[in-house]
C-alpha cells in the first residue's frame, strides 16, 4: 500500500462521512502570519509590563533627576518605541 493510499484510508477511517481535504497553502501561510503577529504582540505587551513595573519602582528623586513625572510613562514609552512622534529633545 502506498503512503497516499494509507493516508486516504486513515482519513476515511477517522471520518466516514467525508474525506478531509488538505488545507490550502495560502491558508497555512495566513495562519502562520497571524501566529507570528500574535507572538510579537505578546512579547511587546510583556516588555511594556516589565518597563512599567521598573518605572513604578523609581522614587521621586530619581524621577526628578530624569525630568519626568509619574504620569508620563505611557508617553515616553510610545515615543521610545516609535508608536508616537518624538516630542522630547535628547540632551547629551
23-65 tens-digit pLDDT: 677 788 888 999 999 999 999 999 999 999 999 999 999 988 9
Q: Quick one: 11 exposed, middle or buried, by C-beta within 10 A (0-12, 13-18, 19+)? A: middle
- Does the global pTM surpass 0.85? no
CA pair distance 75, 55, nearest whole angstrom: 13
> Worst-scoring range by mean pLDDT, 6-10, 28-32, 58-62, 71-75?
6-10
Across the chain, mean pLDDT equals 79
Amino acid at each position: 500500500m502506498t503512503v497516499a493510499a494509507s493516508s486516504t484510508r486513515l482519513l476515511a477511517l477517522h471520518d466516514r462521512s467525508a474525506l478531509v481535504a488538505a488545507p490550502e497553502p495560502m491558508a497555512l501561510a495566513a495562519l502562520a502570519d497571524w501566529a507570528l503577529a500574535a507572538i510579537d504582540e505578546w512579547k511587546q505587551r510583556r516588555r511594556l509590563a516589565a518597563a512599567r513595573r521598573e518605572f513604578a519602582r523609581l522614587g521621586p528623586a530619581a524621577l526628578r533627576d530624569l525630568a519626568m513625572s509619574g504620569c508620563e510613562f505611557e508617553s515616553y514609552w510610545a515615543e521610545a518605541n516609535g508608536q508616537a512622534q518624538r516630542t522630547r529633545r535628547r540632551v547629551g
